[in-house]
A and B are shown apart, each in its own frame.
Chain A
Amino acid sequence: MSALGGTWEMVVGLEVHTELKTATKLFCGCANAFGGEPNTNVCPVCLGLPGSLPVLNEAAVELAIRIGLALHCEVLPSTFARKNYFYPDQPKDYQISQYDQPINAEGYLDLPDGTRVRIERAHMEEDTGKTTHLGGSGRIHGADESIVDYNRAGVPLVEIVSGPDIRSAEQARLYAAELRAILIASGASDGRMEEGSMRVDANVSVRQGPDAPFGTRCEIKNLNSLRSVLRAIDHEALRQVTLLEAGGTVTQETRHWDEDAGRTHTLRSKEEATDYRYFPEPDLVPLAPSSTQIDSIRAALPPMPAERRASIRSLLGDDGAASSLEQITSVVDQGLDDFVVAAVDAGVPVSLALARVANELAGLIADGGEVEVVAMTTLLKMEEAGELSATQSKAVLAELVAAGGDPRSIAKAKGFEQMDEGALDAVLDAVIAENPSEWERYVDGDDKLAGFFTGKVMAATRGQADGKAVNAGLRSRRG
């Protein structure tokens, strides 16, 4: 906010489109799959051939409801509507969407810093095909021709519209990150912005102070990463402030974010108005999910990132929580909180668990490794009990992720658990002194008692003694 100077404040609302992780498209049985040879996943319905009709995918409905519930929305009876406009990637030259009766409305999303952003609606609609522009720079201006692939046409989308409650580019970035984490946690989407399965558009305006009326807003499109979200919004807010301070006015328009150039520019707009002429989709009937269905979807929803962060914060208590916010967020974002919780359940101090998971484990897993929760818990318990130093623990972890196995064998193989000779001798002497009759029989030649003594030594050293060394010690004492 202060970056804009004076009393200027930015007002931002985000519209996020996410593809749903269904097996098939929204209205037909063509596969919903990224990549693939162009125009191989199309049928009369998604190609919009004369006479074709849409039939709604029940899994898409379920995932849309999951998203709505995860965003604390009311799940409502809803209808579909046609949004009419001509464009080559739109096979019917209308999009089947939802307009005045969306499936989800009036929810909210809480940012990690506690800000609550309202969710006005999260509705279902179908995706378009993909256009490639030929000639010129590959961008639309200067292209001679365009070619269209309809594989993506008809893929299920949910459009999530926030209220104009965001007040900085950083908040916008946090919102997008949190929303992505929620979409992934709910199983509805894979949140891959770089693949286009999650797309962010920002509505940005500025005003002089929190009580001033909203200014004219511009819509920014083509934000392909969280970084773009941050940069573009900062840039656009500044552009508007500069313009207004110079005596100009902000024109309501759509602008395109150019990541390389670091600026937005106007899209060359057509003269005709975008009157979408929405009307109820006559080829589909209304949706009215039963409360039983909604309840069962709600019950099956896994805990969302906010809840999971709160769980760890409550383990830490107030003091610890404040200083560890970043670690906690990072751990939950990456889906590693199960490791922390399991370790704490087994008696490991939460600060240790959090540190090892956030710092060491996260780094190792980012490169594609895996480790089982049980193994991690065992390792942390070993470190906590003093059996391993911090350095040793990290080394064992690296090995676990790289090659699997179990912490104790790895520690042993690395010689981390070896006792020094003096300590072993002391324990051996003590065990012999405590068991005189057994020692007498062993000395007399009962070799089987070697096992008895080894067992006693192992018990006394909690498994740290080297079996071979014990046997050697026994034999040398026998003479």
Chain B
Amino acid sequence: MTAVDIAAGVRSGTLRAADAIETSLRAIAATDGDVHAFLAIYDDDARATAAAIDDRVASGEDPGPLAGVPIALKDNLCHNGRVTSCASRILEGWRSPYDATVVERLEAAGAVVVGKTNMDEFAMGSSTENSAFGPTANPRNTDRVPGGSSGGSAAAVASSMVPISLGSDTGGSIRQPASFCGVVGVKPTYGLVSRYGLVAFASSLDQIGPFSTTVADSALLLEVIAGHDKRDSTSLESPAPSLLSHLHDGVEGLRVGLCPELIEGASPKIAERITIAADALTANGAELVEVALPELRYGLSAYYLLAPAEASSNLARYDGVRYGLRVDADDVAAMNVATRTQGFGDEVKRRIMLGTYALSAGYYDAYYGKAQRVRTMIIQAFDRVYQSVDLLLGATTPTVAFELGAKVADPMEMYLSDVYTIPTNLAGHPALSVPFGTAEDDLPVGVQLLGPALSEVQLFRAAQVLEQEAGR
């Protein structure tokens, strides 16, 4: 059942939340042994929450738009009293004493959190192989990666363990796993969803967003979590957009841009799917426009300077002093070193060192400073293009899901999977991946829709059309 259907059923009294949760927990019990999407499962707590919701419905209350819907959270989202590990040994067992804003909003809307999902450590990775607690498998083919860093959240939805989940996207970490697993994944406009309670990786790039099997479910979830939060200084004044009511408005008259930079380098079958998607949109009344964004080619390099730089600072707090892992030593500096050396995996160390280098004396202008100007260049390029189109259509990933272990030897190989998704994070723009059939090896592929800031309504309208046309 979709989240939309569950919520409607629970609110109308035709479906018990307890049953929806039980279905989810049974699916997890049956499937997660193979998939390993979850790091923590909340069986009893989830049942108790569901029972409470059923009581409220029975007494005539409306628990909210997500009433009784089971949801999974990426393990970098703080949930009061529960472990938030970020798939790292350095936070293994750490219980957050507060709720992320999105979690507060979800629970206030009646959703039932059933567990925390696996991820690349501190959200650094594109395959969930960097988790300190073992990888997650792609439910469509368990020899393959689910993508990353939100691999667990994507896989949980793809294998029907939960209808919806939350992930985070810094360079593509929602959209890429969504494409690999064949589910919907959305990165909202930067600042639309509060980051309070999201463990930071790269603060000016991170955003929380939904995974779902249907476009409507992502719309529902995004409506609940989006909107201004006074606890996040980078939160937009805007309220949550009204997505569901416009979902079926269609794409008549919408100008959709195709640019080579979002397709070149993609596998043949993926390129083919993009073409078919473009046709589907024009068949529904959209207008296709050829555009060029050569500036996007620099996005990868700029990202791999900016994101690690911010990360190197955001991860400094993991020092064994106040919480998390401590490896004792004679003096506090040695204790910091021992703790961080033991607590962090290789990819995290790599990015911390890269970021430290980019910020260090003598190198700031050449690396970090330059990368910030590239960011400006990309923003201006997008602004220019959005004068003549409303949306862009392109690939989400250059390939279908690769095999577990295939890209771990060369970090640069792994980074290249983010080439189409990174520019929107740099610009702070929204983008989503909607499943659109299969490509090589019968594996799912998503197509990416991109738009200017706060264009979520148009993105969802186009995604809805593509969802209907995915069988083309």
Chain A residues with Cβ below 8 Å from B332 are 88, 146
Given contacts A50-B86, A275-B361, contact A148 B98 (CB under 8 A): no
Chain B residues with Cβ below 8 Å from A146 are 332
Question: Across the interface, do A48 and B317 meet the contact criterion of CB distance under 8 Å?
Answer: yes
Question: Across the interface, do B313 and A50 meet the contact criterion of CB distance under 8 Å?
Answer: no
Q: Chain B CB within 10 Å — which of A48, A88, A94, A282 has the most? A: A282
Question: Across the interface, do A279 and B97 meet the contact criterion of CB distance under 8 Å?
Answer: no
Question: Across the interface, do A44 and B336 meet the contact criterion of CB distance under 8 Å?
Answer: no
A283 to B195, CA, bound (A): 10
Chain A residues with Cβ below 8 Å from B414 are none
**1/0 per residue A39-70: CB within 8 Å of B?**
00000100111111111100000000000000
Question: Across the interface, do A47 and B333 meet the contact criterion of CB distance under 8 Å?
Answer: no
Chain A residues with Cβ below 8 Å from B360 are 275, 277
Question: Across the interface, do B233 and A52 meet the contact criterion of CB distance under 8 Å?
Answer: no
Q: Footprint of B on A, CB under 8 Å?
A: 44, 47-56, 82, 84, 86, 88, 91-94, 146, 148, 270, 273, 275, 277-279, 282-285
Question: Across the interface, do B198 and A51 meet the contact criterion of CB distance under 8 Å?
Answer: yes
Further 11 A-B residue pairs, CB within 8 A, beyond A51-B77, A91-B322: A47-B322, A48-B322, A49-B98, A51-B200, A53-B231, A53-B233, A84-B313, A86-B336, A92-B317, A277-B360, A279-B310
Minimum C-beta distance from A227 to chain B (A): 33
Question: Across the interface, do A51 and B199 meet the contact criterion of CB distance under 8 Å?
Answer: yes
Chain A residues with Cβ below 8 Å from B100 are 51
Does B31 count as interface, using CB distance less than 8 angstroms? no
User: Pick the contact of A44 from B94, B98, B203, B333 — CB < 8 Å?
Assistant: B98
Q: Chain A CB within 10 Å — which of B94, B100, B322 has the most? A: B322
Closest to B77 in A: A51
User: Pick the contact of B368 from A56, A84, A148, A279 — CB < 8 Å?
Assistant: A279
Question: Across the interface, do B234 and A283 meet the contact criterion of CB distance under 8 Å?
Answer: yes
**1/0 per residue B187-208: CB within 8 Å of A?**
0000000011111101110000
Does B350 count as interface, using CB distance less than 8 angstroms? no
Does B96 count as interface, using CB distance less than 8 angstroms? yes
Minimum C-beta distance from B52 to chain A (A): 26
Q: Is the contact region of chain A dominated by helix, strand, or loop, or is it mixed?
A: loop
Q: Footprint of A on B, CB under 8 Å?
A: 76-78, 84, 86, 91, 94, 96-98, 100, 195-200, 202-204, 230-234, 309-310, 312-313, 316-317, 319, 321-323, 332-333, 336, 356, 359-361, 364, 368
Chain A residues with Cβ below 8 Å from B199 are 50-51
Chain A residues with Cβ below 8 Å from B91 are 50
Chain A residues with Cβ below 8 Å from B309 are 279
A84 to B202, CA, bound (A): 15
Question: Across the interface, do A277 and B361 meet the contact criterion of CB distance under 8 Å?
Answer: yes
Question: Across the interface, do A282 and B203 meet the contact criterion of CB distance under 8 Å?
Answer: yes
Chain B residues with Cβ below 8 Å from A49 are 78, 96-98, 323
A50 to B325, CA, bound (A): 14
Closest to A274 in B: B361
Question: Across the interface, do B97 and A88 meet the contact criterion of CB distance under 8 Å?
Answer: no
A473 to B310, CA, bound (A): 96
A283 to B322, CA, bound (A): 22
A184 to B332, CA, bound (A): 38
Question: Across the interface, do A94 and B313 meet the contact criterion of CB distance under 8 Å?
Answer: yes
Question: Across the interface, do A51 and B196 meet the contact criterion of CB distance under 8 Å?
Answer: yes
A47 to B234, CA, bound (A): 20
Question: Across the interface, do B204 and A282 meet the contact criterion of CB distance under 8 Å?
Answer: yes
User: Pick the contact of A55 from B94, B198, B230 — CB < 8 Å?
Assistant: B230
User: Pick the contact of A279 from B76, B316, B359 — CB < 8 Å?
Assistant: B359
A51 to B202, CA, bound (A): 12
Closest to B197 in A: A51
Minimum C-beta distance from B248 to chain A (A): 36
Chain A residues with Cβ below 8 Å from B200 are 50-51, 283
Minimum C-beta distance from A69 to chain B (A): 25
A44 to B234, CA, bound (A): 17
Question: Across the interface, do A51 and B319 meet the contact criterion of CB distance under 8 Å?
Answer: no
7 A-B pairs with C-beta separation under 8 A = A48-B317, A49-B323, A51-B96, A88-B332, A94-B313, A146-B332, A277-B360
Q: Chain A CB within 10 Å — which of B100, B200, B233 has the most? A: B233
Chain B residues with Cβ below 8 Å from A56 are 233
Minimum C-beta distance from B373 to chain A (A): 13
Question: Across the interface, do A86 and B319 meet the contact criterion of CB distance under 8 Å?
Answer: yes
Minimum C-beta distance from A279 to chain B (A): 6
Minimum C-beta distance from A257 to chain B (A): 24
Closest to B98 in A: A44
Q: Chain B CB within 10 Å — which of A51, A88, A146, A283 has the most? A: A51
- What 8 A-B pairs come out closest when comparing CB atoms? A93-B316, A282-B203, A277-B359, A282-B204, A50-B199, A51-B197, A51-B78, A275-B361
A148 to B197, CA, bound (A): 24
Question: Across the interface, do A285 and B321 meet the contact criterion of CB distance under 8 Å?
Answer: no
Question: Across the interface, do B313 and A82 meet the contact criterion of CB distance under 8 Å?
Answer: yes
Minimum C-beta distance from A132 to chain B (A): 14
Given contacts A92-B316, A146-B332, A279-B313, contact A284 B233 (CB under 8 A): yes
Chain B residues with Cβ below 8 Å from A148 are 321
A53 to B229, CA, bound (A): 11
Closest to B91 in A: A50
User: Pick the contact of B231 from A47, A55, A275 — CB < 8 Å?
Assistant: A55
A49 to B312, CA, bound (A): 16
Chain A residues with Cβ below 8 Å from B368 are 279
A340 to B199, CA, bound (A): 59
Question: Across the interface, do B317 and A50 meet the contact criterion of CB distance under 8 Å?
Answer: yes
Chain A residues with Cβ below 8 Å from B204 are 282
Minimum C-beta distance from A49 to chain B (A): 7
A264 to B196, CA, bound (A): 45
Question: Across the interface, do A94 and B316 meet the contact criterion of CB distance under 8 Å?
Answer: yes
Chain A residues with Cβ below 8 Å from B198 are 51
A272 to B74, CA, bound (A): 37
Chain B residues with Cβ below 8 Å from A279 are 309-310, 313, 359, 364, 368
A171 to B360, CA, bound (A): 38
Chain A residues with Cβ below 8 Å from B233 are 53-56, 283-285
Chain A residues with Cβ below 8 Å from B310 are 279, 282
Q: Chain A CB within 10 Å — which of B91, B94, B361 has the most? A: B361
A282 to B96, CA, bound (A): 23
Minimum C-beta distance from A90 to chain B (A): 9
A282 to B312, CA, bound (A): 13
Minimum C-beta distance from A25 to chain B (A): 14
Closest to A42 in B: B322
Chain A residues with Cβ below 8 Å from B230 are 55
